[in-house]
Amino acid sequence: MPKKTAVKSAASKAETVTIHDQKLQRGAGGELHQIAEGDTPILTTSQGGPVSDDQNTLRVGARGPALIDDFHFREKIFHFDHERIPERVVHARGYGAHGFFETYDSLAAYTRADLFQRPGEKTPVFVRFSTVAGNKGSADLARDVRGFAVKFYTQEGNWDLVGNNIPVFFIQDPIKFPDVVHAAKQEPDRAFPQAQTAHDNFWDFISLTPESMHMIMWIMSDRTIPRSFRFMEGFGVHTFRFVNAKDQSTFVKFHWKPKLGLQSVAWNEAVKINGADPDFHRRDLWQSIQSGNFPEWELCVQLFDQDFADSFDFDILDPTKIIPEEVLPVQPIGRLVLDRMPDNFFAETEQVAFMTQNVPPGIDFSNDPLLQGRNFSYLDTQLKRLGGPNFTHLPINAPKCPFHNFQQDGHMAMRNPVGRTNYQPNSRNEGPRESPLKGYRHFPAEEQGPKIRLRPESFADHYSQARQFYISQTPPEQRHIAMALTFELSKVEAVVIRERMVAHLMNIDETLATTVAQKLGFQSMPKPADAAMPTRQDLEPSPALSIAERGPQRFEGRKLGILITDGVDAKLLKGLSAAITKANAVFELIAPKVGGVTASDGSFIEAHHMIDGGPSVLFDAVAILSSTAAIDDLVKEATARDFVADAFQHCKYIGYDPSALPLMEKAGIADALDEGVLALPGEEGLSAFVTELGKLRVWGREPSVKLGKASPPIKG
């Protein structure tokens, strides 16, 4: 790999670019920002001091650690962390559960962290899932990044692995974090749109920030509309270090892999779920744990040394990049099981405080600038949210191992040092003392370089991995990305912002850019955006990046919605219910009235939902079990027709008995039946039907339910 060198700072190397008569200056990382000239005011601190560089934190050298005397970053992140009370600025909409982490094998060769020393060791955990942009009252199925934060209560103190369900981030430097969140949140003059990025502010910022393009591919994919917390991956995002007892370092990236496989929903389906049940993800986790179907993930790691880091095509400190699993396979090192809901939502899920700087001995940080900024910022966040320095006194945040220090007093202190001595060193030999042997030791990395604001040249490729992600998707997933981009940009009022984004897409995939441009009604294609480095065409697709390529091929953990009427075949219903249960899945019954129906054998069967309250969007697949005597009344129900039509439109598997055919006809799908619309076999063949449900979706159906007039070709 070429030697990693630094590009000059924006202040010393200013490239001026004119876009639609607007003069912009390109920063060291390729980002564009307005030039302070003429009547344009100069950016200053709150004390009035002019700011020379608002794009990069102050650090030692291009790839070194951040410096605490960066007063501009300190002020900016301090103010950002204190903007809202009492809910979180980001990740406000959250839900959590208790469980345990079980270590597979000893990792003593790599780390001295106590929880990784003994095979079979179980460590208590608390996990909080969340959306990022929405407020506390927003809906679960917003298109958004999902937080995946795990608090391990280890024997050496708490370890907070604070990650997301996406392994990269929008920005490379933490000084831009307030900006990206401000842009993504509702616009300040109108306080909408809520929990969505389909507006001018977000896309204006993104279109001027090329480093965001990889993240944009992820958030416009199905990854941001997961079917359930149980069916999504988690990532530590940054590069960390394992440090063993000999103070030897190994770089590590953390991955959570769901036992039940990956699964997302269609966008139209997400919109309807938000209307039918805005607590869909919360309810799913609650029901799963309460029924004993405990969600489970494997913790996997990518381990590598400095030689690999130096030889890798991209900088391992760049939070907008990944190491593909095909290049460096993940290794499972333990499992996470969630088996208990909180006793009180506010006391635990709302008051839990995660901080990236909470690590036990044996886990250390890299110089990833975004990680350095998070370590600096999170303590301020908790101080503001929880009212003072004693938030660790709350049971959900307190360590479960012995702990001792001389910290005292402060707002809402629930414990204080006992006795006369509250300091050290002291001649009474009282109180705790540091332990050079057992205490936390940072890896003694050597750093050098000028104290300056800059971005390393090795961070400058903003398009290659974005392209790799896109070409790693299956055709239906690529279609979904194009549809998502089209929808979001269609809500942007400023044409110039749409054009800038399509110009970026030209550097990722020309077909994608052309598709989006056609859908937006462009008359001609813009030129590709200026790129600090050309897009690499030699990166191979990574199947690990595709949800469809890693489908579970089983219906375990999913839910079948069975629409029933009076006269339903009792044996068929009993057989289908048994087959679903045997597959470790669940079913719910939907009927014209929530009270239930009378089956063919005269038995009364209670329903879980009435049709109005149990639309097909709430289920992974559906079945219609009716009777010739009741079908005429069912056909008259608009919600019953929607039940079938929506399931078909969302490419779900549909099972039916012969009496249900009139409903299929009325729903408009009788002439479009495909391999995903299945006549239910006899009682003995139902297990084969349930096996077929394991494919989850019939994406090949999607183009036929999205037929419309083709857009005219546009000029290049």
C-alpha 567/C-alpha 629 separation (Å) is: 7
User: Per residue, what are the HEC states of 41-109?
Assistant: CCCECCCCCECCCCCCCEEECCCCCECCCCHHHHHHHHHHHCCCCCCCCCCCCEEEEEEEEEECCCCCC
Calpha distance 581→602 (Å, rounded): 24
- The values of phi and psi at residue 594, to 5°, are -65, -20
The DSSP element (H or E) to which 468 belongs, if any, is: helix 464-471
Sign of CA pseudo-dihedral 51, 53, 56, 62: negative
Contact between 588 and 561 (Cβ < 8 Å): yes
Closest CA to 245 of 435, 439, 112: 112
Cα–Cα nearest to 202, from 481, 519, 497: 497
SS3 607: coil
Contacts of residue 706, Cβ cutoff 8 Å, sequence gap at least 6: none
From 83, 81, 78, 73, select the one nearest 52 (Cα to Cα): 73
For residue 161, list its beta bridge partners.
Answer: 150
**Which pair of tokens denotes residue 353?**
């405080």
Give Cα separations from 559 to 139, 341, 580, 619, 623 (angstroms): 21, 21, 9, 5, 11
Sign of CA dihedral 709, 710, 711, 713: negative
- Contact yes or no for 313/82 (Cβ under 8 A): no
Distance of alpha carbon 633 from alpha carbon 627, whole angstroms: 11
600 secondary structure, DSSP code = T
Tokens 């009777």, residue?
Answer: 627
Burial of 108 from C-beta contacts in 10 A (0-12 / 13-18 / 19+)? middle
3-state secondary structure of 569: coil
Rounded CA gap, 523 and 525, in Å? 7
Residues annotated as catalytic (active site), given as ranges: 91, 164
DSSP state letter for 467:
H
**Side chain identity, residue 447:** E
| 321 close to 366: Cβ distance less than 8 angstroms | no
Q: Identify whether 86 is preceded by a cis peptide bond (ω within 30 of 0).
A: yes
Q: What share of the chain is helix, strand, coil (3-state, %, to 5)?
A: 30, 20, 50
What Cα–Cα distance (Å) separates residue 629 from each residue in 169, 607, 626, 661? 57, 19, 8, 13
Q: Tokens 């700011």 map to which residue?
A: 51
SS3 category, 432: coil
8 Å CB contact between 547 and 476: no
235 Cβ partners below 8 Å, 6+ apart?
148, 163, 164, 165, 166, 167, 253, 254, 255, 256
Which two tokens mark 387? Answer: 């009212």
Compute the distance between CA of residue 534 and CA of residue 177 in angstroms, rounded to an integer.
26
Cα gap 90→84, rounded to integer Å: 10
Q: What is the CA radius of gyration of the chain?
A: 27
Residue 273 exposure: Cα atoms within 13 Å on the Cβ side: 29
Backbone torsions φ then ψ of 149, nearest 5 degrees: -110, 130
Q: Distance (Å, rounded) from C-alpha 92 to C-alpha 89? A: 7
